[in-house]
A and B are shown apart, each in its own frame.
Chain A
Amino acid sequence: MSNTINIIVAGLGGQGVLKASDIVAEAVFSAGFDVKKSEVHGMSQRGGSVSSEVRFGDDVASPMIPAGESDFLLVLEDTQIEVNKPKLKAEGTLITLADVDASKLENPKTINIAMLGVLSASLPQIAEEHWINALKKFLPEKHHAVNLTAFALGRSK
């Protein structure tokens, strides 16, 4: 439990929050860690605030991240930064839309994936192949190339 890394992905319903956190969970799972992922569905399709939590390490206990204990907070919508900030550790890493140079993206819709690229650069314990396999698993094949480019852009930032 002591070495658990906590990641929160937040945004609004319909923005791909759950897909982004699925990709994170899949990547850390395939890297061999214990992992738990938690979120509340149901009303999320109706445009409300959505957040999803991923925890990984040797032995993850609760699926929910205690307030102020998240190592990473990835926010896909700027209005949701303040709402979610209390969940982040004082020394935690906030990743926002501003961390990606959107003008370099082939398709602006891939910005979530570019932000995952930014996150991945801070997690050296997860080899790049695990991220790439996770992206391929959760995204339709015809969109693989454009998303892999976006991921590489974020990762090389």
Chain B
Amino acid sequence: MAVKQLLSGNEAIALAAFDARVAFGAGYPGTPSSEILDEFARLGGKAQWSPNEKTALENAIGGAFGQVRTLATMKHVGLNVAADPLFTIAYSGTPGGLVIISADDPGMASSQNEQDNRRYAAAAGVPMFEPSDSQEAYDFLFKAFELSEKFHQPVLYRLTTRVCHSKSLVARRESPVEVAPAAYTKDVKSNVMIPAYARIAHKNLRKKLADIAALSDSSNEYTKELVKGEELGIITSGISYHHCREAAPEASILKLTLSYPFPAEKLKAFAAKVKRCVVVEEGDPILYEACKAMGLNVEGKAEMYRFGELNVERVRRILANDLTAEPVPAPGKPPQLCVGCPHRKSYEALKALNCIVTGDIGCYTLGVLPPFEAVDTCVCMGASITTGLGLRRALPEAEARRVVSVLGDSTFWHTGINGIVDMVYNKPATGHVVMVLDNSITAMTGLQEHPGTGRKLDHTPAEKRLVIEDTVKAMGVDNVDIIDPLTEQDKLRAVLAERLASNDTTVIIARRPCILGAVKAKSYEETNKAAEK
């Protein structure tokens, strides 16, 4: 038997990607997915941080057009950014294996919503795998690539926070996988989605999904059945499987490895052979609704269990139809901006000037909490600039002049840059002020590199470093100010006040490295310098 290792789900996927000969992986950091590509690169795999999830997925699609295996990684909300290519590549498919990791965050440990990305599988028509632990996170990736290649169809690989970050034992495959070298075969009817070809492709997609459902029904590769008593049966997928087998050791369980398309015949047969059949799933009642649509006699969970993660106690309550209020966990200490964090000084300035701050996604979102309470809105990556522009258009002049859009450097390159285009092209009457809190790293997700750090994912030098001030100047922004928020606090306030009073477009770059990131950046730079010599 193979030697086992104790790995997180993310580490297991990285190892599987390496063993499955994935040609390259592209992604954008997002908790809980971030460690996958870092670990894949550490193992010797080829990986990159793309500026955002859309560009990452498109890179992976391009690679798969070259007939190799590629991987795109992102958190659940990242798939919203990448949804545009997703829906069309579902039609065209790719000749190479393409797996898209969506790491969902039920309970919102580190996210702005708890959307259930199983919906994307049905919406786009893409098969979805759901591992429940690190061994499955390792094993199912091979199945996912095999299925993708067999049907020339992208595959979604849905993880949740507990699967990504929990550690459990993993046995690694001993025999290496054989993969064909990259090649290109022209096939415009499959790969160019003009309406005439897309109409055919959509019909092909529905046929493929029916074939995949039939395969899942006829094989034991895509479901796992735990046969116990006949009194209680549970239909489930992902991490909930382990909560169920602990909460109800007497129950028979049907777990979907491939959770979309649904194996209708298996679900019917399972529901028919138990006296009581309950669907236990984290998040939305997707499996439950599918079972009901098939006319199966199953129970779902009460609405109160849609919110947050499931665990053993909550599964016990679901099975007991317990609708009483759940115990509220004692409030711990909330996270906060680090002592010495340069963002603190920027927020002090914004608060002193009574600004309306349209915020963004990153460490600096913590500026919403006391003592700053300086963030007014937070929607999604890159939304700070454009929601700020909208607010400026809507408000009377005196109020409009208070609006400042605040975002980080990594978020600027992600989708903030599009907002600059909008600001220059559609300048509000009062102009606008954007403040980039540039701490020179992607801090919130664990200090990853981005296009402006000058280093690649593995921290070696990038070919070019993108420069925020050069970029926004070239785009036609009227004023570009670079200020150290720590050593130039008075200047920051004076410049901010002056720009708010003008009708210009302004980008203030409050630049000072993250105190956690600066230590790492220094060691990378020293290593890179030594390598140069």
Contacts and interface: CB of A to CB of B under 8 A. Distances in A.
Interface of A: 1, 12-13, 25-26, 29, 34-49, 60-64, 66-67, 79-80, 82-84, 86
A46 B334 CA distance: 8
B303 to A, nearest CB: 22
The DSSP consensus for interface residues of chain A is: mixed
Contacts of A43: 109-110, 335
A66 B167 contact: no
B313 interface: yes
User: By CB atoms of chain B within 10 A, which of A41, A47, A61 has the most?
Assistant: A41
A36 B167 contact: yes
The range of chain B's interface size is: 35 or more
5 contacts: A34-B168, A40-B110, A41-B446, A43-B110, A47-B336
Contacts of A39: 165-166
Given A38-B166, A61-B243, A46 B338 contact: yes
B47 interface: no
B246 A42 contact: no
Contacts of A35: 6, 167-169
A40 B109 contact: yes
A25 B166 CA distance: 11
A83 B166 contact: no
Interface in B165-200: 165-169
A13 B333 CA distance: 10
Nearest to B240: A62
Given A1-B249, A41-B32, A82-B330, A62 B242 contact: yes
Contacts of B313: 66-67
Contacts of B334: 48-49
Nearest to A43: B335
A47 B133 CA distance: 28
B335 A67 contact: no
User: By CB atoms of chain B within 10 A, which of A13, A35, A42, A80 has the most?
Assistant: A42
Contacts of B445: 42
B55 interface: no
Contacts of B336: 46-48
A48 B312 contact: no
A42 B31 contact: yes
Contacts of B109: 40-43
User: By CB atoms of chain B within 10 A, which of A39, A63, A64, A82 has the most?
Assistant: A63
Contacts of B329: 86
B167 A37 contact: yes
Interface string B431-463: 000000000000011100000000000000000
A83 B332 contact: yes
Nearest to B327: A67
Given A35-B169, A38-B162, A39-B165, A45 B516 contact: yes
Nearest to A60: B168
Given A42-B110, A46-B338, A46-B366, A62 B243 contact: yes
A61 B245 contact: yes
Contacts of B503: none
Nearest to A61: B246
Contact of B333 (A26, A38, A42, A79): A79
Interface string B220-246: 000000000000000000010011011
Given A34-B169, A42-B31, A66 B311 contact: yes
B169 A29 contact: yes
Interface string B23-53: 0000000011000000000000000000000
A43 B333 CA distance: 11
B166 A63 contact: yes
B169 to A, nearest CB: 7
B165 A41 contact: yes
B337 interface: yes
A83 B162 contact: no
B6 A26 contact: yes
B246 A46 contact: no
A26 to B, nearest CB: 7
A45 to B, nearest CB: 7
B145 to A, nearest CB: 26
Given A61-B245, A61-B246, 7 more contacts: A12-B333, A25-B167, A26-B6, A45-B335, A46-B335, A48-B332, A48-B336
Interface in B331-346: 331-339
Contact of A63 (B242, B337, B339, B446): B242
Nearest to A12: B333
B161 interface: yes
Contacts of B333: 12, 47-49, 79-80
A45 B489 CA distance: 26
B311 A64 contact: yes
Nearest to B165: A41
Contacts of A46: 335-338, 363, 366
B331 A36 contact: no
A49 B332 contact: yes
